[in-house]
């Protein structure tokens, strides 16, 4: 049951506001647009125009917050003189020095003020002089209700200088006193980032998530309004009984705290720091009230104890069909994808669906995701016709392959020449004519840095040909049949004589690529085909013993299934559509039904990548030239 799923923190780690936000409505003309209910197809263009205008306004005031050396979070500037809303668990307590990073590269110092423990709210003030871009807050009368559309920004994965704060689309699912739930996907690093309504006003601050992609929880900004005086004064709100903190240490509930009753880990380490700081007797049993008097409540960092979120708490919550990727919303996009669906095929390997394919030429040229391909490739049309496919060209840099298939009456896709911008609708069709998923452009086209692939083994020896100590569950090495005590002697055509040579050789290849690997097993040479994986997928179990081998990047398994090859692209469009790895290789279209790219990776809870039209066209022209040369050579030989 979703209600019992663990909720995770996201960090990598009205009258009261009159003095702060006076004149905001005059200085920042509020945007108007679509607000509530499921849109009709003919309303989508107006809604997109609104979302794009909002994105232009709110991205510049979405900041990164660096606290100390280890904690990164997000925030939003809500006044010209530099007040910033963020999450309490990002700043943890009042009085800390922080660094504020704006998307344009500007860095300024700041100071943490108060925190709202019930709503996971925090307030920060920029201490440098200046006038700062900011977003207004929603008013009490316009506070959202279930069904309202919303946009999220933030810095998922931490602040990145080559990326603007990604934009994401969603709907308000549930509204509670200290929590908003939306299906705007957020993840680690987004903590403290803003949630906006369809007039560009801040309605919530990102707090935490759960396993389902539709459980994204935000602290409502009205909680900040309620406690503005206390937050501005650097106080903890609401007031908590001083003994509450030390009750967490009383694990056997006898009214006393001893070191022996604390399990090894964070609680015991915290208690040991208190013992050292306040010269306590580590062997003594202290009454809770006694500890409170000795330490003094205000000197102890506040420990947040937010009430657990439960789906069934609000009977007025939005129904699943009305979610952004629910059936009722996807239905509005069906007319948009109908034409592109005719040029979309299923790509099968060994008779099993592995990817989608995009028809780039009616003569039978299909583009798809290369690293999803295995042996015995075929393509299947929407009406069930199937034919074997031949790989004409494979482009490792873009992870694309061009297939040639002998199928009649194929429909080539209609490509767009328009630039894509944050806030623009993107829709992924399937061959049956339905929209698999919808989302918006999160970040404009840019280069995506890469991570080298890994075999998925631990090596015992540092000298001589590497001997395998252990093979990681779920890794390419495991699936290929590699065993402990195998000696790796060759990768592709390169002899391997040391661990350094193995690391250097494998490091030149990307996740998803298959390496022909030679091992010695009991003195006998064996050939294995090993598909490389992402380090964070394969070795996550080493960092978290006993965990599933398929826990994905960002939030310990909260991302869902991801592609093995999901980065290292010369150029890609980032969007927030949610789909499965086997949906890659097919087209993604704008609301005119024109193809703006090829989906190439499901990369994170908040991230999908599409290759832009220019990159695909270049590959297509190369493939056409190869086909023409092959046909010419064939005609010459027959003469």
d(CA 570, CA 609): 12
- In angstroms, how far is CA 194 from the centroid of its own chain? 16
**Tokens in use for 460?**
């015992």
Burial label, 333 (beta-carbon count in 10 A; 0-12, 13-18, 19+): buried
> Can you read off the two tokens belonging to residue 431?
């061959």
Query: Does the pLDDT value for residue 553 go beyond 50?
Result: no
End-to-end CA separation in angstroms for the chain: 70
Lowest-confidence segment of 18-32, 42-56, 371-385 by average pLDDT: 18-32
Lowest average pLDDT, out of 129-143, 252-266, 332-346, 517-531, goes to 252-266
The pLDDT score that the predictor gives to residue 267 is: 77
Q: Does domain 457-543 have CATH number 2.30.42.10?
A: yes
- What mean pLDDT is predicted for residues 176-182? 91
pLDDT digits (tens, 9 = 90+) for 74-117: 999 999 999 999 999 999 889 999 999 999 999 999 999 999 98
Average pLDDT for residues 605-615, to the nearest whole number?
Answer: 96
Cβ proximity of 117 and 225 under 8 Å: no
Farthest-apart Cα atoms in the chain, separation: 102
> Given this model, what pLDDT does residue 240 score?
58
For residues 484 and 456, give the distance between their C-alpha atoms in angstroms, rounded to a whole number: 12
Residue 181 has φ and ψ, to the nearest 5°, of: -115, 135
pLDDT of residue 423: 98
> Does domain 327-448+567-627 bear CATH number 2.40.10.120?
yes
Query: For 19-49, how does the pLDDT look when each residue is reduced to its tens digit (9 = 90+)?
Result: 333 333 333 343 444 455 788 899 999 999 9
Q: Contact at 8 Å (CB) between 496 and 465?
A: yes
Asked if residue 170 lies in contact with residue 183, where contact means CB atoms within 8 angstroms, the answer is yes
pLDDT over 60 (residue 302): no
Look at residue 597 in the predicted model and tell me its pLDDT.
Answer: 97
When the pLDDT of each residue in the chain is averaged and rounded to a whole number, the result is: 87
Task: With cut-offs at 50, 70 and 90, classify the pLDDT of residue 211.
Answer: confident
Question: Of the ranges 246-255, 293-302, 325-334, 608-617, which one carries the lowest mean pLDDT score?
Answer: 293-302
Q: What whole-number distance in Å separates Cα of residue 388 and Cα of residue 477?
A: 29
What pLDDT, on the 0 to 100 scale, is given for residue 624? 87
* Matching CATH number, 243-299, of 1.10.238, 1.10.3470, 1.20.120, 1.10.287: 1.10.238
Considering the four listed CATH numbers 2.40.10.120, 3.90.180.10, 3.30.70.2660, 3.20.20.140, the one that applies to the domain covering 2-237 is 2.40.10.120
Please state the φ and ψ torsions of residue 187, each to the nearest 5 degrees: -155, -170
pLDDT value for 565: 93
Residue 623: per-residue pLDDT? 87
Statement: residue 299 has pLDDT above 90: no
Mean pLDDT of 449-458: 93
Give the lowest-confidence range in 214-223, 290-299, 588-597: 290-299
Task: Say if residue 572's pLDDT is above 80.
Answer: yes
For 407-442, how does the pLDDT look when each residue is reduced to its tens digit (9 = 90+)? 988 999 999 989 999 999 999 999 999 999 999 999
**What is the Cα gyration radius of the chain?**
27
| pTM given for the model | 0.83
Q: Where are the alpha helices (DSSP H) in 304-411?
A: 327-342
CA angle 165, 169, 173 (to 5 degrees): 125
Q: Using pLDDT thresholds of 50, 70 and 90, give the confidence band for residue 639.
A: low
Query: Do the domains 2-237 and 327-448+567-627 sit in the same CATH topology, yes or no?
Result: yes
Counting residues of the chain whose pLDDT is more than 90, the rounded percentage is 68
Cβ neighbours of 352 (radius 10 Å):
9
What pLDDT does residue 80 have? 97
Cα–Cα nearest to 565, from 449, 457, 453, 445: 453
pLDDT band of 304, cuts 50, 70, 90: low
Q: Is pLDDT of 285 > 80? A: yes
In the chain, what percentage of residues exceed pLDDT 70? 86
pLDDT category at 522 given cuts 50, 70, 90 is very high
Look at phi and psi of residue 293 and say left if phi exceeds 0, alpha if psi is from -120 to 50, else beta. Answer: alpha
CA atoms within 13 A on the CB side of 385: 9
The domain locations on the chain are 2-237, 243-299, 327-448+567-627, 457-543
């Amino acid at each position: 049951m979703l209600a019992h799923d663990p909720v995770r923190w996201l960090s990598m780690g009205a009258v009261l506001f009159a003095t702060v936000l006076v004149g905001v409505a005059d200085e920042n003309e509020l945007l108007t647009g679509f607000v509530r209910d499921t849109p009709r197809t003919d309303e989508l263009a107006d809604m997109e125009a609104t979302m794009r205008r909002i994105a232009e306004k709110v991205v510049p005031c979405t900041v990164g917050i660096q606290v100390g050396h280890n904690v990164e979070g997000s925030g939003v500037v809500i006044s010209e003189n530099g007040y910033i809303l963020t999450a309490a668990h990002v700043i943890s307590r009042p009085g800390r020095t922080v660094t504020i990073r704006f998307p344009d590269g500007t860095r300024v110092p700041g100071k943490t003020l108060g925190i709202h423990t019930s709503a996971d709210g925090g307030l920060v003030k920029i201490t440098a002089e200046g006038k700062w871009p900011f977003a207004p807050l929603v008013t009490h009368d316009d506070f959202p209700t279930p069904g309202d559309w919303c946009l999220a920004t933030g810095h998922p994965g931490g602040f990145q200088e080559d990326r603007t704060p990604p934009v994401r689309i969603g709907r308000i699912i549930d509204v509670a006193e200290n929590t908003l739930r939306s299906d705007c996907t957020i993840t680690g690093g987004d903590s403290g980032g803003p949630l906006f309504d369809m007039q560009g006003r801040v309605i919530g601050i990102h707090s935490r998530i759960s396993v389902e992609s539709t459980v994204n929880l935000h602290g409502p900004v009205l909680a900040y309004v309620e406690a503005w005086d206390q937050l501005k004064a650097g106080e903890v709100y609401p007031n908590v009984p001083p003994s509450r903190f030390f009750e967490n240490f009383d694990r056997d509930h006898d009214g006393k705290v001893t070191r022996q009753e604390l399990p090894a880990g964070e609680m015991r380490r915290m208690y040991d720091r208190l013992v050292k700081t306040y010269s306590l007797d580590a062997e003594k049993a202290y009454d809770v009230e006694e500890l409170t008097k000795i330490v003094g409540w205000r000197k102890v960092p506040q420990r947040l104890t937010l009430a657990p979120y439960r789906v069934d708490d609000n009977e007025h919550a939005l129904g699943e069909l009305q979610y952004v990727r629910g059936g009722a919303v996807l239905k509005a996009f069906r007319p948009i994808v109908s034409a592109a669906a005719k040029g979309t095929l299923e790509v099968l390997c060994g008779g099993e669906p592995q990817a989608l394919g995009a028809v780039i030429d009616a003569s039978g040229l299909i583009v798809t995701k290369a690293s999803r391909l295995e042996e015995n490739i075929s393509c299947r049309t929407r009406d069930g016709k199937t034919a074997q496919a031949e790989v004409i060209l494979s482009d490792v840099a873009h992870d694309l392959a061009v297939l040639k298939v002998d199928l009649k009456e194929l429909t080539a896709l209609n490509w767009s020449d328009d630039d894509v911008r944050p806030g623009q609708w993107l829709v992924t069709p399937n061959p049956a004519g339905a929209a698999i998923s919808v989302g918006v452009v999160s970040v404009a086209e840019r280069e995506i840095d890469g991570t080298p692939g890994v075999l998925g083994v631990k090596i015992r020896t540092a000298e001589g040909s590497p001997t395998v100590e252990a093979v990681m569950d779920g890794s390419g090495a495991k699936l290929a049949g590699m065993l402990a005590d195998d000696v790796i002697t060759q990768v592709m055509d390169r002899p391997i004589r040391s661990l350094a040579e193995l690391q250097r050789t494998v490091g030149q290849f990307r996740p998803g690529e298959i390496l022909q690997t030679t091992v010695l097993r009991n003195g006998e040479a064996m050939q294995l085909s090993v598909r490389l994986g992402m380090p964070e997928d394969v070795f996550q179990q080493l960092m978290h013993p006993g965990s599933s081998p398929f826990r994905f990047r960002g939030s310990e398994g909260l991302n869902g299934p991801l592609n093995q090859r999901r980065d290292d692209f010369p150029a890609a469009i980032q969007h927030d559509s949610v789909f499965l790895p086997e949906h890659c290789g097919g087209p993604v279209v704008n609301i005119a039904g024109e193809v703006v790219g090829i989906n190439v990776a499901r990369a994170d809870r908040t991230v999908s990548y599409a290759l832009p039209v220019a990159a695909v066209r270049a590959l297509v022209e190369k493939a056409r030239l190869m086909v023409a040369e092959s046909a010419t050579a064939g005609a010459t030989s027959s003469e």
